[in-house]
């Protein structure tokens, strides 16, 4: 089944060069066009409500209101909104969050022009496209334990360079409690030490880089 009208696309990314490139790519196609551009999540929600695009191409890491928050806001405006996440982050945790929040598809910024166009067309019909690297990442971590809110909080403080003692003081818990949580974090992430745990957590999307 075809479309009678061109696919109207909203492009959301905080980098002007990326937005320019996507606009050029999209507008080479006769069956789609860019109706608006947003530089952050708050602007994305506002423009989505105003423009009602068929497909939103959405980055995740943006200032002020990030992509996941924007996705939530967009889906509140229109529960069946078609949103293609287009980002640099392949982490399985971040992917799962985006898909759970209602993203239609998930692409990496390493995607080819053809892959981007195909994802937009597919999304306009409600069909899902997941980059092969993303599918592999999800499969590799399927069934693995997730970090608790407390463990995530401790890991963020480890990332900031805090010792166990300082983390304990900051969270009003004992040193031994911090050590117990750290042991759990290392096991869940398959990490050899604190630094390795932070690296893995960033790559998988548990915490920001």
58 has a pLDDT exceeding 90? yes
Task: Give the angle 124-127-131 at the CA atoms, nearest 5°.
Answer: 105
Interval 118-132 mean pLDDT: 93
Neighbours of 27 (CB within 10 A): 13
82 has a pLDDT exceeding 70? yes
Confidence grade of residue 1 (pLDDT, cut at 50, 70, 90): very low
Burial of 146 (0-12, 13-18, 19+ CB in 10 A): exposed
- The token pair at 115 is 């892959």
pLDDT tens, position by position, 69-78: 999 999 999 9
DSSP-H helix ranges across the chain: 16-26, 41-51, 67-77, 92-100, 113-124, 132-140, 149-159, 164-171, 175-189, 194-204
> Which pLDDT belongs to residue 158?
95
Contact residues for 3 (Cβ-Cβ < 8 A; gap 6+): 31, 124
pLDDT tens, position by position, 162-198: 999 999 999 999 999 999 999 999 998 889 999 999 9
Interval 15-38 mean pLDDT: 96
More confident residue, 88 or 176: 176
What whole-number distance in Å separates Cα of residue 142 and Cα of residue 140?
6
Portion of the chain with pLDDT greater than 90, in percent: 73
Task: Give the angle 206-97-34 at the CA atoms, nearest 5°.
Answer: 120
Confidence grade of residue 14 (pLDDT, cut at 50, 70, 90): very high
Q: What average pLDDT does the chain have?
A: 91
> Among 101-105, 141-145, 176-180, which stretch is predicted with the lowest mean pLDDT?
141-145
What whole-number distance in Å separates Cα of residue 86 and Cα of residue 83?
9
Spell out the domains of the chain, with CATH numbers in brackets. 7-140 (3.40.50.2300), 149-204 (1.10.10.10)
What whole-number distance in Å separates Cα of residue 161 and Cα of residue 41?
30
> Of the segments 62-66, 87-91, 176-180, which one has the largest average pLDDT value?
176-180
CA distances from 111 to 39, 119, 130, 182 (A): 21, 10, 11, 37
């Amino acid at each position: 089944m075809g479309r009678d009208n061109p696919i109207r696309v909203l492009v959301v990314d905080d980098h002007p060069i990326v937005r320019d490139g996507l606009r050029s790519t999209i507008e080479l196609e006769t069956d789609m066009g860019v109706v608006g551009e947003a530089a952050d999540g708050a602007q994305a929600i506002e423009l989505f409500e105003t423009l009602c695009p068929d497909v939103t191409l959405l980055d995740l890491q943006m200032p002020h209101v990030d992509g996941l928050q924007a996705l939530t806001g967009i889906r509140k405006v229109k529960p069946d909104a078609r949103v293609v996440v287009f980002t640099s982050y392949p982490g399985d945790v971040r992917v799962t969050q985006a898909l759970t929040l209602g993203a239609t598809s998930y692409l990496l910024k390493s995607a080819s022009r053809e892959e981007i166009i195909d994802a937009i067309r597919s999304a306009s019909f409600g069909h899902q496209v997941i980059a092969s690297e993303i599918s592999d990442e999800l499969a590799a971590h399927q069934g693995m334990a997730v970090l608790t809110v407390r463990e995530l909080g401790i890991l963020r403080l480890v990332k900031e360079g805090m010792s166990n003692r300082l983390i304990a003081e900051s969270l009003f818990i004992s040193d031994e409690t911090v050590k117990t949580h750290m042991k759990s974090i290392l096991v869940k992430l398959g990490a050899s030490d604190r630094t390795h745990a932070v690296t893995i957590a960033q790559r998988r999307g548990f915490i920001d880089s």
